[in-house]
Amino acid sequence: MAKRVIFIEHDHASPGGPICKQFERRGYEITRFNIIDEESSKTPNVTPVWPDLMGFDVVVVMGSQYAAYDDERIGNWLLPQIEKMREVHNAGIPIMGICFGGQVMSRVLGGTVSRAPRGELGWYEIESEDEALIPRGPWFQYHWDRFTIPPGSTEIARNDLCPQAFVHGRTLGMQFHPEIDAQVLDVWLAMEGGCAEVEAEGVVVAELRARTKAIESESNQRGYDLVDRFLDRIATADVQPV
């Protein structure tokens, strides 16, 4: 019987790109659970009916246009999610947290999330303590917030702005976006205000698209490799409950 992975998507524009593709190649049945549809994007404090996360072999917590510390605006689903993800982590179910998902897992494990001094948008190399797990990149960044390394966790990567990756038992939290390819970027830029948001950071949209397309083959391979390393190393590590 195929193993099952659920991708928790916090908005209507969170395709899994090469990450989803590699889970499929590894024989996983994919479930996508969307919390906020496009109609609710401006009133995002919805109350979803959660699936049984304990019935999956892996949980992937995706990015989001919202802030992982904005309990007032999205607390109806964010606070229950934090509790549910703590249960998943403590049960030893492997978790991959991407950007917002990494921030959520920092909160789950006792860390904090806050506004960063500046945004990061585009392709960046990072410093890595374990390049066999997380190489230097470049990796795609699209965030204005940052997390702290939770107590008892191991920092794997960082840059001059913030931590970029940590491991805690069978949980891997990341600030960057390994799921980005040219198609995913187009989906993001097509969101309301997407191009304006990018240009406000001094990034030229046409150049960002061209760079993403130019390095897509190698960046996709980094995403594939990351899934393999996650499944082979992190998902089989000792359980470290909190």
- Least confident interval from 10-14, 88-92, 127-131, 134-138: 10-14
Q: Which residues contact 228 (CB under 8 A, 6 or more apart)?
A: 22, 26
Confidence of residue 174 (pLDDT cuts 50, 70, 90): very high
Residue with tokens 């179910």: 93
**201: nearest Cα among 141, 113, 118, 124:** 118
Beta bridge partners of 176: none
Which residues are within 8 A (CB) of 117 and not within 5 positions of it... i.e. 6 or more apart? 161
| Pairwise CA distance, residues 110 & 41, whole Å | 28
Residue located via tokens 């390994």: 178
Q: What is the mean pLDDT of residues 42-64?
A: 96
pLDDT at residue number 178: 97
87-111 average pLDDT score: 98
Max alpha carbon distance in the chain (Å)? 49
Residue-range domains of the chain with CATH: 3-234 (3.40.50.880)
Task: Say if residue 8 is exposed, middle or buried (CB neighbours under 10 Å; 0-12, 13-18, 19+).
Answer: buried
Distance between CA atoms of 212 and 138, rounded to whole angstroms?
11
DSSP E strands, the chain: 3-9, 28-34, 58-61, 95-98, 113-124, 127-128, 139-147, 154-158, 163-168, 171-174
Average pLDDT, the chain: 95
pTM for the full model?
Answer: 0.96
Residue with tokens 């916090």: 10
